[in-house]
A and B are shown apart, each in its own frame.
Chain A
Amino acid sequence: MLNNIKFTGLILLTAVGLSACGGGGQSNFNPPTSGSSGGTGPQWQAGVYAPESELKDFCAAPRSGIDPYSGRAYPDKAGSATYEKLWLRSWSNNTYLWYDELDDINPAGYGVQEYFDLLKTDARTPSGAFKDNFHFYQDTAEYKQRTQSGVESGYGIEWKFSALSPPRKLEIAFIEPGSPADLAGLVRGDEVVEVDGVDFINGGTQNDVNTINNGLFPSIAGESHDFVFETVAGERIDVTMASADVQITPVQNASVIETDLGRVGYVQFNSHIALAQDQLIDAFELFVNENATELVVDLRYNGGGLLVLASQLGYMVAGDANTAGRTFEQMQFNDKHPSRDPVTGDPLVPLEFVDKRIDYDRFVETSESLPTLALNRVFVLATDGTCSASEAFINGLRGIDVEVILIGDQTCGKPYGFYPTDNCGTTYFTIQFTGVNDKGFGEYSDGFLPTPSPQFPAEVLGCMVEDDLSLPLGNPQEGQLRAALDYMSSGSCPQSSGIERFSQKTAPEGKGLQIKRPDPRYRATILENKLYQQFGRNPESQP
């Protein structure tokens, strides 16, 4: 029974198509009777917010026919751009986490998406970065497209980019097993030298850049391209690869490392997708069977996903005594919604540490208990690609006083979430909730910072250590893993990690023509700056 309650509280429905509750500001708004865009439409009045439900789905260009995803008619009605902007304004006023930091701007003269871009806070974090870096919109038809869990089109390469402009630098972070890159013999650390005969490093014409982008990011599976790579040893290798729809393996390299202090479990966890559940269980069964007494969880390339998986991972690390009855994460909305989720209307129930296997057919807990190491501390390897649900894992454990020792770089800083909401064919993402741990802490919008001497809540005991591409992931000599193993015995950081800050957040842009940010995992949504246009996100606003 407890398990049902526990899990019921964490199921979130995709909010597309759901209209959030009303309850914005004061209302003296008269909705149209005709729904026409002329004359009697809604007007902006400073400080007066109509209920969002009265403005929703009144569209400048209503969709008609049947929505293929719902099987029902589109909800759109004849309206206007003013309707759409005023809906965005009321929706934000009701549900945006920092609604009280928004200026009430007259929407006249702005485009709809242009106006949405204004409905975000300009406040900055203690580091000086913008607090809200997660304000997007996307065509709804595109947003709703579905894919096999963990399938990416490309070569099966996770890239690490260091410079997008000449002299460019692009290396392989890891390879998906069985992918075209794996079959071609490429490995972590290999560096791109040429793409389809073009000098990748210094190619300076637009044609060069186009050739490079087309080769790195083929638009469909089955495209063949030629590459020259340079290995870590300095050898040049010619490779021809055909793009494919590649199944990623979210959990890799699970192993037990023998040390003087005992057995140390290591697991590389790359993506919080449903497919990962059984792989994580297999990894922890290995650790339990091999009597591992310490654990290193490699989250350096894990940008998040299913929160319940982070909760399960937390349980598998910490065990019953540490987690029973404790909160893994609690959603918090703005102060207009202290006790109920404004989108679903459900009471706000904490997500506990889930200790059972999930049945994804029904999306409920089963009676099958998860394995656990029942540890009081865990080492986490991180970069700025360690984001969202991965950060929730760190925060959740810290909330129950399981010591997290962070090795690597500052994490991305995304303690937030949203219900993507469609209006008139565009799906909007605006930050609506933050996640806090058992201690009520969730203020890490600059990310978790590893440091030998933490002073502030978002600073975590650990070491700044560079991602070492010269050795395979899971190799005990690889820089970050070696630093974790050394820390276990010495309690101190390696000398070579005395880097004040080398954060990858430092923009890799330079002068000259830039290639696309080279990551096939989001090739599907980025085509030559498409993401910036799609999601209305200005790359200059990056922290």
Chain B
Amino acid sequence: MKKQLVIAASLLAGGCQLTQANEPVAAVLTNPGAQTKAELQRVIQQAIGGTPVRLADDALTDTDTLYIEQNPGRDARGNPIMGRHNNKPEVFHLRLQGEQCQLIHGTTGEVYLLQEVSCRALDAR
């Protein structure tokens, strides 16, 4: 059973002399699948509580940012019940540092090291 490692972003930022090559860069996922999705769900649940969130099958494969919001209930016409709100979504960013993929919780800055996820720098092909 692999444990999720959580590191405070502030430690990363302030505690190390990082070379530019080692700085986290925006990344996208390269191995979408059930195992990867399950790990992302576990990490997100660890970060924000609640129950596992529903993720797209191709989550984080073409963007480095993940927005999580409450499931928008629909009324009998199919329109969102909460059609006028300003509830803050939870935001996560996928980063690559060296060969390590990380998921960063935007609100807290906490960094979650991913074990199952493979990723590449967003601009690299």
Contacts and interface: CB of A to CB of B under 8 A. Distances in A.
A519 interface: yes
A310 to B, nearest CB: 8
Interface string A263-307: 000000000011100000000000000000000000000011111
A361 B73 contact: no
A384 B76 CA distance: 12
B59 A414 contact: no
Contacts of A384: 77
Interface stretch (B11-19, B83-91, B111-119): B83-91
Given A70-B49, A148-B66, A153 B54 contact: yes
Contacts of B72: 305
Dominant secondary structure at the A interface: loop
Given A71-B49, A148-B55, A274-B89, A420 B79 contact: no
Interface in A508-543: 517, 519, 521-522, 524-526, 531-532, 535, 537, 539, 542
Interface string B81-106: 11111111111000000000000001
A305 B85 CA distance: 6
B74 A521 contact: yes
B107 interface: yes
B49 A68 contact: yes
A385 interface: yes
Interface string A8-20: 0011111000000
A306 B67 contact: no
B23 interface: no
B88 A363 contact: yes
A142 B75 CA distance: 15
Interface string A174-216: 0000100000000000000000000000000000000000000
Interface stretch (A29-37, A240-248, A466-474): A240-248
B84 A389 contact: yes
B71 interface: yes
Contacts of B66: 148-149
A417 interface: yes
Contact of B50 (A146, A303, A414): A146
Given A385-B77, A532-B76, A535-B75, A246 B56 contact: yes
Given A273-B69, A307-B84, A362-B107, A412 B79 contact: yes
A69 B45 CA distance: 9
B89 to A, nearest CB: 5
A134 to B, nearest CB: 7
Contacts of A412: 77, 79
Contact of A387 (B49, B83, B88): B83
B76 A519 contact: no
Nearest to A134: B75
A361 B85 contact: no
B75 A531 contact: yes
Dominant secondary structure at the B interface: loop
A360 interface: yes
A229 B24 CA distance: 48
B86 A307 contact: yes
Contacts of B56: 148, 151, 245-247
Contacts of A150: 67
B80 interface: yes
B74 A522 contact: yes
B88 A305 contact: no
A537 B78 CA distance: 13
A306 B55 contact: no
A315 interface: no
A362 B107 CA distance: 6
A293 B88 CA distance: 34
Nearest to B48: A146
B79 A414 contact: yes
B68 interface: yes
A539 B76 contact: yes
Nearest to A311: B86
A388 B75 contact: no
Contacts of B59: 148, 151, 247
Contacts of A70: 49
B78 A304 contact: no
Contacts of B53: 145-148
B20 interface: no
A389 B72 CA distance: 14
A136 interface: yes
Interface string B41-52: 000000011110
B71 A524 contact: yes
A494 B54 CA distance: 44
A221 B79 CA distance: 22
Contact of A416 (B68, B76, B78, B84): B84
Nearest to B72: A305
What are the nearest 4 A-B pairs in CB distance?
A388-B83, A522-B74, A304-B83, A361-B106
17 contacts: A11-B86, A11-B88, A143-B71, A143-B73, A146-B54, A149-B89, A153-B54, A306-B85, A308-B86, A361-B107, A385-B78, A385-B79, A414-B84, A517-B78, A526-B74, A531-B74, A542-B77
Interface of B: 48-51, 53-59, 66-91, 106-107
Given A144-B50, A273-B89, 9 more contacts: A70-B49, A151-B56, A387-B79, A388-B83, A517-B78, A521-B74, A532-B76, A535-B75, A542-B77
